[in-house]
Amino acid sequence: MPTNESQLQGPAVEVTGLECGYDDTVILKDVSFTVARGEIFFVIGGSGCGKSTLLRHLVGLNLPRQGEVKFLGAPFSAADAATRRAQQKNFGLLFQSGALWSSLTLRQNVALPLEEYTTLNRREIAELAALKLGQVGLAGYEDYFPAEISGGMKKRAGLARALALDPAILFFDEPSAGLDPVTSRKLDELIVEIRELFGTTIVVVSHELASIYDIADRVIMLEKQAQGIVAEGAPKALATTSNDPRVKEFLTRGTGRIPHL
């Protein structure tokens, strides 16, 4: 992880005592962690452990039952709706499916947040949308519709939209889901490139070991029965030093050794 002056200004994300759930069901409780500015941080764990639930509560799609989320030092979950909406301009979110509007071209999809949150005119928005598509390797595909491109390209188009407002923080929900290993590796490389070029803080929800070992600076591991965090640290260090069998099982695929990926 690159070291720079911004890291001395406090964490990009600060979570304290978070309790998450739906209706009467508690999924996670007493979850606390921080994400440093410019860090690539993974939330990992097996299916059903609450990874996507945590993400939804972090970005404000759901509000926590208890606890607090802060972004760049400012209260988020405890703030009023107008303040949360204003803060959401500081982060981008790439959904697992890409979540593109099928009736809109890639340029029009990327233009949506620019139309919503800026005062740029139509020509400026179109030019900036094309620039963002170019940043993710989709120059020349501005007028294509989502149905006309591959799954990996849809993920990159979704990423271009997430980057539209130059966010300080990017959230990814299972970015490698549905991708072949080569396309997944290229997306990982793009995530690292974005961090290196723009100093963006990256938070990734994933269970893909190849991505976890290749690009994560640090992880937290959630576990279903514990309803919270059972490990935190660099993934390779956790795989080799953790005494928790749940952590060993997940990070070594049950072999006791870091897998060759």
* Rounded CA separation 117/253 (Å): 44
Tens digits of residue pLDDT in 149-166: 998 899 999 999 999 999
229 by Cβ neighbours in 10 Å (0-12 / 13-18 / 19+) ranks as: buried
State residue 151's pLDDT score: 87
Give the CA dihedral 40, 43, 47, 52, nearest 10 degrees. Answer: -100
Identify the structural domains of the chain with CATH numbers, from first to last. Answer: 5-103+167-252 (3.40.50.300)
pLDDT at 7: 47
Does residue 176 carry a pLDDT above 90? no
User: How much is the pLDDT for 17?
Assistant: 97
